[in-house]
Each structure stands twice: as structure tokens, then as C-alpha cells.
Amino acid sequence: MTDQPPAPYAGAPPYLGEQRVLSGMQPSGDLHLGNYLGALVKFVRLQHQVETFIFVADLHAITAEQDPKKLKQQVREITAGYLAAGLDPKVATIFAQSAVPEHAELAWVFNCVARLGWLDRMTQFKEKSGKHKERASIGLYTYPVLQAADILVYKATQVPVGDDQKQHLELTRDIAQKFNNDFSAPGFFPLPEPLIQGPGARVMSLRDGAAKMSKSDPSDNSRINLTDDADAIAQKIRKARTDAEVLPETAEGLEGRAEARNLVAIYAALAGITEAEVLKQYAGQGFGAFKPALADLAVSVMGPIGGEMRRLLADPAEIDRVLADGAQRARAIATPVMAEVRGLVGFWNS
């Protein structure tokens, strides 16, 4: 643990004009291979390149029903996943969203900047609210406004997210621009860019190559959870849906073979090589040979991560210290930004 936060954080002013990465995950459901390859690996890589803020979105989580008795533990589990995957709390700032009240305060201001018409276009709300839109919470509707506040309260410039979040990033930019305009503060908020590219950007379900690997899939066999042990990992890969053909020479040969392509992509991402390199090695072989190799690889990469998560969760004091320290560093940035916002808006408490 850090005795002292790294120099740039201690009460430092916001880094105007510089790069800052921020991302978060909701504490709902277990972390899985898709989260690991699609998000965690990227966070871990980015932390060494640019100032990185990674949080657990417990405010967002309650847009769907949560058990109040479990929510804190769910925050710890995501944090354990961050640490086990390799986020270094001395390097990256890791914290819980609710520990920095400025997120919610800025979200209110942004609720008054964003237009109904903008939010009406959000496809994720349409999907999540389903047929009974009128019964969804208003929080679910303004979810992307809170997301904009998460990002802009740190003046973050880059946001690693899945492609399903691209629209929320566009909204964030619209909000930043309108705020800067409405309050005559050109350049006050940066216009953050999504970071979407990269291998592992889309890990698909092991049961259906057309669906994303997801924590909300009712079949546990559709995903590899970070906490699965070696047997469970191997078994899920053995049961993964495939076809009867052998692996082709080149990636074009995977056209129309979504399940096969997914397993090849997972292998490549886990091994840190390209799909072409995987195929060079396994061309002409069937899944009877490829699956055990993939299972061994997955166990060797994921096994230690699951083990580290279990170790961290067995004694949550370490996780709690990381979150307390991260919240302090996060607030050192968010507090002065929010103070400026109050001033720009003309609030009494500015």
C-alpha cells in the first residue's frame, strides 16, 4: 500500500489540456472473461501510459434493483478483479463512485444541460427498459448523464469502453460542449474520446457466437467467470458450441463460423498473439485438439487471477484501504472542478 499518494495527486489542480483516462464498471454480477479481455487488460496497459482513474459504479448499479445488504460486497468484488488483473493502486486511482459525491452533484447540473431529445435517442435505455418503459426508473433514463459526470468531473480525455458505450460517449461530448457554451467557459470541459479498438473488444458467449459474453446471460456455461476454478474453466471450454469443421488456414476461413471465430479470438487475446498466428499453428486441426489447448491456456491465464481475487476477498481490509486511498485522490481532482462548476453556474454555495 502507498504511504503517500504519488506526487501528481496530492491536492493537484486538474490537468488542463493533458491526457487522463477514466473508466468504470458496475458492481452487478460476476466479472467474466469478456470483462477481462475487453476492459481489464486495457486498463492495466493504460495505467503505465497515462494517468488512469478506474472506479466502481455503485450509483449506476441502483438504476436496477440491488440488495442493499450485498452492494458493498459487490463493490469489493469488482475492486478485487481490478487488482487481481494487475491494476496497481500506486499507479492507477481506484475508487467507488459513491465515495466521491461530486459525481452526483455534477450529474444534477448536467441533467439541466442535456435535452430530452438527446436522451430519447439512447439505445441502451430502450433495450434495458424493455416493453414497460413507463415502469423504468428515471435514474435508468438519466444513466448516461451520470456517466458524463463521472468522466467530466475529472476532465478525463479518454474513456476505454465497449462499443455499446459509444453513444454514451457522444452524449458526454454533447453535454461538455453545451455546458462550455451555455456558461461561457470555452474549453472548460474537454471533449472526451472513446478508446474502443483492440483485441478482445468483443468476446462472445460460449453458447452462441452471435451474442456478447454477458453477466446477464442465464446460462453460466455461456461465460468464464474470473472466479471459476480450473475444472470449471476447462469444462466450459469443452462444452463450448463449435462446428464440425477443422480450423482454416486464414481468418477469412472463419467467415460465417461465429463460434469457431470466437474461440480463435479468445485464444489469440489470451496468448497475446494475432488470430493469424493462432491459425498458423492450428490450421487443419479440429476442436478435439484445439479446445484442450485453449483450456490449458485459459487456465494458465485466468487461474492465478481467480486465486488472487479469492485471496483479496478473504481479507477485505486491503481492498478497503485501496478504495479509501483512491477516493481521497479522486476527490483531490473532483472537488476543485466541482467548485469551479458551482461558480460558473452561479450557485449560492460557490
Active site residues: 128, 212, 215
In whole angstroms, how close is the CB of 162 to ligand TRP at the nearest point?
Answer: 6
Task: Note the residue count of the chain.
Answer: 350
Using CB under 6 A, which residues numbered 145 to 164 contact ligand TRP? 147, 150-151, 159, 161
Q: Does 40 bind ligand TRP (CB under 6 A)?
A: no
Residue 79: all three cell numbers together? 475492486
Shortest Cβ 97–ligand TRP spacing (Å): 7
Query: Is residue 26 near ligand TRP by the rule CB under 6 A?
Result: yes
- CA proximity to 334, closest of 163, 149, 112, 86: 149
Binding mask 274-313 for ligand TRP (x = CB under 6 A): ----------------------------------------
Scan residues 44-73 and list those touching ligand TRP (CB under 6 A). Answer: 57, 60
Find cell 461538455 and name the residue.
176
d(CA 110, CA 284): 56
Interface residue with ligand TRP among 9, 14, 20, 24 (CB under 6 A) is 24
Nearer to ligand TRP, 14 or 237 (CB): 14
CB 45 within 8 A of CB 85: no
Q: Which is nearer to ligand TRP, 145 or 312 (CB)?
A: 145
Q: Does 20 bind ligand TRP (CB under 6 A)?
A: no
Rounded Cα gap, residues 54 and 49, in angstroms: 14
Residue recorded with cell 458496475: 26
Judged by CB under 6 A, the chain residues 119 through 138 that form the site for ligand TRP are none
- Which stretch in 144-152, 238-246, 251-259, 339-347 sits in contact with ligand TRP by CB under 6 A? 144-152
Please report, as residue ranges, which positions from 219 to 258 form the binding site for ligand TRP (by CB under 6 A): none
Whether the CB-CB separation of 102 and 144 falls below 8 Å is answered with no
Collapse the DSSP code of 194 into the 3-class scheme (helix H, G, I; strand E, B; otherwise coil) and give the result: strand
Secondary structure in 3-state letters for 281-332: HHCCCCHHHHHHHHHHHHHHHHHHHHHHHHHHHHCCHHHHHHHHHHHHHHHH
Residues in contact with ligand TRP by CB under 6 A are 22-26, 57, 60, 147, 150-151, 159, 161, 165
